[in-house]
Chains A and B, each alone.
Chain A
Amino acid sequence: DAGVIQSPRHEVTEMGQEVTLRCKPISGHNSLFWYRQTMMRGLELLIYFNNNVPIDDSGMPEDRFSAKMPNASFSTLKIQPSEPRDSAVYFCASSLAYTEAFFGQGTRLTVV
């Protein structure tokens, strides 16, 4: 299995622009998680889905952030409009319920 696949690996955008991060979970996994990693705040859970349904989005920082999972093999995290403080590494992870969560390689986002 190729593991959790995230794209792009790196994204540099200007403040105010829309950014879309993409994730393909491991086939057969029914839970998907979006995390944000910064030096100051560490790894923070933003939102997670179970069977494509958002279960807990309490970690989404603001209305500028939105996430979708239209099917079991694809999810997006969108930031609109982006701000410099959104600069971070964003990770997607997937799991089969009650088992280990597998992380992707992350997307390093820089907003200038």
Chain B
Amino acid sequence: GENVEQHPSTLSVQEGDSAVIKCTYSDSASNYFPWYKQELGKGPQLIIDIRSNVGEKKDQRIAVTLNKTAKHFSLHITETQPEDSAVYFCAANSGGGADGLTFGKGTHLIIQP
């Protein structure tokens, strides 16, 4: 089955700086890579996703890059703000979104004022 590794487990950045979270996956058949943000006491919420037919996707301050050859993908958050503090999860799915997701262990992002 799929295995997703995520790092770092904790990331502390100054407000206004950029944050980068990296993930690797094992199943070359995986073709859907979402990123979820989880705030305390809430369920994960999708913030951005990418499919294997593109290498990069942006949405305002958030971007995701995908390297299929190396089987890794990254989340980039620019101009970080206090409300970006949360736990972020990467995930992979070989069913393109129709099957259950395999999640990384999460990154606790702390934005220092």
The residue on A at minimum CB distance from B102 is A45
With A42-B103, A43-B89 in contact, is A103–B98 under 8 Å at CB?
A: no
User: Which residues in chain B, 59-113, are within 8 Å of chain A measured between CB atoms?
Assistant: 89, 96-106
- Segment touching B, from A14-22, A62-70, A78-86, A92-100: A92-100
Q: Taking the complex as formed, is A25 at the interface, i.e. its CB lies under 8 A from any CB of chain B? A: no
User: Which chain B residues border A50 with CB–CB below 8 Å?
Assistant: 98
User: Which chain B residues border A59 with CB–CB below 8 Å?
Assistant: 100
- The interface size bin for chain B is 20 to 34
Say yes or no: A97 contacts B98, CB within 8 Å.
Answer: yes
User: Which chain A residues border B97 with CB–CB below 8 Å?
Assistant: 95, 97-101
Say yes or no: B106 contacts A56, CB within 8 Å.
Answer: no
Number of A-B pairs, beta carbon distance below 8 Å? 56
Q: How far, in angstroms, from A97 to B96 measured CA to CA in the complex?
A: 9
Q: Taking the complex as formed, is B8 at the interface, i.e. its CB lies under 8 A from any CB of chain A? A: no
A61 nearest CB across to chain B (Å): 15
Q: How far, in angstroms, from A59 to B99 measured CA to CA in the complex?
A: 13
Say yes or no: B44 contacts A103, CB within 8 Å.
Answer: yes
Say yes or no: A105 contacts B43, CB within 8 Å.
Answer: yes
User: Which chain A residues border B99 with CB–CB below 8 Å?
Assistant: 48, 55-56
User: Which chain B residues border A35 with CB–CB below 8 Å?
Assistant: 100
Q: How far, in angstroms, from A45 to B44 measured CA to CA in the complex?
A: 14
Q: How far, in angstroms, from A78 to B27 measured CA to CA in the complex?
A: 31
A67 nearest CB across to chain B (Å): 12
Say yes or no: A43 contacts B44, CB within 8 Å.
Answer: yes
B residues with a Cβ closer than 8 A to A are: 32, 34, 36, 41-46, 49, 89, 96-106
A residues with a Cβ closer than 8 A to B are: 4, 31, 33, 35, 42-45, 48, 50, 55-56, 59, 91, 93, 95, 97-106
Top 6 A-B pairs, shortest CB-CB distance: A103-B43, A45-B100, A43-B103, A97-B98, A98-B97, A42-B105
